[in-house]
Amino acid sequence: MSDRDRAARAKGASVNGADGAQGDADADSLDAVTDDEELRPSGKRNAPRGKRSTATLERDTDTVAGVDLSEGENAEKRKKQKRVAEGDHNPFKRIWLFLTQVVDELKKVIWPTRREVIQYTLVVLIFVVVFTAFVAGLDLGFAKLVLWILG
């Protein structure tokens, strides 16, 4: 049960405080309805998987959760990208759009710190050295075995 559910139950219990067992039963039934209907996701998607229709695409790019995304500092950029993606068949413009989107996504990446990069590099190098020694040992052992058998 989440903190929000506990707070709602406590609030409901304090309102019904003098009711005793009846108040608890009402709060439990109310919480069960609230938990099942509002707080738990259904796990089902509204749209089918695969290619989305243009209406869905337009709805997703223009509004999210009822908030109009066409307003704001990046509105012109989004409109331009949408125009280029919809009807322009010029391959150079499409490549340029792709590269600008790549740069925008790379700006969102959380890059590792210098210490993490050094640590990961050392782990990889040590693993490569150990595995190379293991394979070299197997190669040497099989070579000696073949020479011993074939003489």
Identify whether residues 9 and 25 lie together within a single domain: yes
For 19-71, the pLDDT digits (tens) are: 555 555 555 555 555 544 555 666 666 655 555 555 544 444 555 555 555 55
The answer to whether residue 97 sits within a structural domain is yes
pTM of this prediction?
A: 0.37
Amino acid making up residue 51: K
Identify whether residues 101 and 60 lie together within a single domain: yes
How far is it, in rounded angstroms, from Cα 127 to Cα 17?
Answer: 64
Number of structural domains found in the chain: 3
Identify whether residues 60 and 101 lie together within a single domain: yes
DSSP label of 112: P
88-120 b/e (C-beta count within 10 Å ≥ 16 → b) = eeeeeeeeebeeeeeeeeeeeeeeeeeeeeeee
62: domain range?
54-108
The answer to whether residue 44 sits within a structural domain is no
How far is it, in rounded angstroms, from Cα 35 to Cα 74?
Answer: 38
